[in-house]
Structure 1
Amino acid sequence: MSEPYAIRIHENGGPDVLKKEAFEPKQPGPGQALVRQTAVGLNFIDTYYRTGLYPVKFPFTPGSEGAGVVEAVGEGVTDLKPGDRVGYVASGTYATHLTAPAASLIKLPDGIADEDAAAVMLKGLTAWMLLFEIRPVKAGDTLLVWAPVGGVGSLLVPWAASLGARVIAVTSSEKKAELARASGASDVIIGYDNVAEQVKALTDGKGVDMALDSVGKVSFEASLSSLKKRGWMVSYGNASGMADPVPPGRLAQGGSLILTRPTLFSFIDTPEALARGAKLLFAALQDGTLKAEIGQRFALSDVGDAHRALESGKTTGATILNP
């Protein structure tokens, strides 16, 4: 086994600012657990921290999800023991070890591999938040989903379809369109031109109930224009950059539209909420509704290459980093 290390950034910039550094894992204090990580998930939010879109204090260890094996627990921890396999959403997972509150670690059911958990914890709980918590999706709803074969999108599409929703997906290539159709999208729009017009044509001029938009700057107005009256605009990512400001009057002009910019951590801020989301996520994995679609793997020490692949749009599904 290699010596413990973490990937840290000391300044904002491109993938080259990600540096591998030796570190000493922190022993767990009261209510905490020490985990030896076996798999780490890669997410777009990691690039936001690296570039400075989301400011952080340096030195900073990126990473927002992972899975591993509990090595030690602190005083007062009774729900976990050394040897338990766990998955989690946590800060600083670009490392061989993680010390975190035990209440934030979810035991992995039998049949869910560590890599699968690391691939879906943040992304799967985000999909749960979007479909079940903000404006619960019901049978007969029509959704517009951008980036349908990305990390979150590859879970959103089949989960929404399983709930009886019609999914209109927007993606960048025929190859990705084929993947979106295979996962449950009813219709796929290829390219970002005239999206709203195509959506209206597909919905007999009505528009969609919800737009789930992770792209940001280049997609925001198209999403708003694709909504039906009283439709929900859910902006949850910035893959193309931050969306431009929107005056409240624009929502009125669109037909009393509802705009929200959710973050997952507002929805899993209690152990009960986290457990509720994880229960539904694991059940969807176990019954086959969802699959942990791992499109590519990188060594954690090669995380710079992983960031380049993600930002270039060359990845599909989830990306796993192996410590």
Structure 2
Amino acid sequence: MTVRNGEILFVKSVKDGIPNRDPLQDSDARRLFPEEDGRISLSDVSIKRDVRDYVLEAEPNGGSSQRNYIFVQGKVNDKGRLLTRGGLAEWIAEQVDKKKEAKENMKSVLLEHSFDTRTFGIVYSVTPKFHLTGPVQLGWAHSLHPVDSQYIQGTVVMPSAGDKEGEEGKTQGTIWTSYIVPFAVFAMPGVINAKNAEQTGMTVEDQELLLKALWQGTQHRQARGRGQQQPLMLVHVEYKDPFFRIGYLEDLIALQPGEEAWRDAGRRPSSLKDITLDISELLRTLEQYQEKIERCRIWIHPSLRVQSDISPFLQPLW
């Protein structure tokens, strides 16, 4: 089986944190829309990091096939220094006993043994340089409702090191500050290009690992500042035509009550109990183009209320 042209729609939520901060805005939430719009955003880089970190943990040492090494990662050498792109590529080649082949054709070694190279593509700036556009392109994730980030402060007391051996450290309260988002629901679109998959050698197994990594990677990569994240819905549509796609699947879903309800009431949703996901327009569109669709699969978290019957597409969770 070969990878088909396809689209992805991924919906997730976050509580009490910000999964992707904006360093140009004092590490507040990223806002691509005007302030009066109220929505916040997550970059595709942030979500790819979740996928890569999951594969690193789930497929140690490249997995049993040694095909799932991660090229873009923060790996250090014996001296504690971060490996460069060239150093990472050489390290992967060494792990699979292909140092000689890598000197002649590093591209083929990385495509065979690196999951993120086959999936997301690569810009290899080490001579001989090469560039491959990945078959999987993820878009920005935008919140489905207005979101207010909150600026908070706290105090932590930690003993400082003593000046002399045996001297007790001093204790002093240190004030910390941070922005958090109490609750937000995000929708992220993505495309899978069948022609690019042929060029990178992305397989159906890679595709299935990607979908699993989107879901479980969101749950796996938890940190205090990133908040409590939860995957809510994942849609994967495969097309018969390698040049066709519906496009903008994220515009075919909506939260109920709608955006105006949160504006007029002067409040925001605070949990999944406050919302229902309406995907009726998405299902109508899928039915409209059913002759061009090979398969549609939908994964749903049991805590999410969904308005519409998705039973024909429903998949068991991993």
The TM-score, its normalising length taken from structure 1, stands at 0.23
Larger radius of gyration: 2
The TM-score, its normalising length taken from structure 2, stands at 0.23
Higher relative CO (CA 8 A, sep ≥ 6), structure 1 or 2?
A: 2
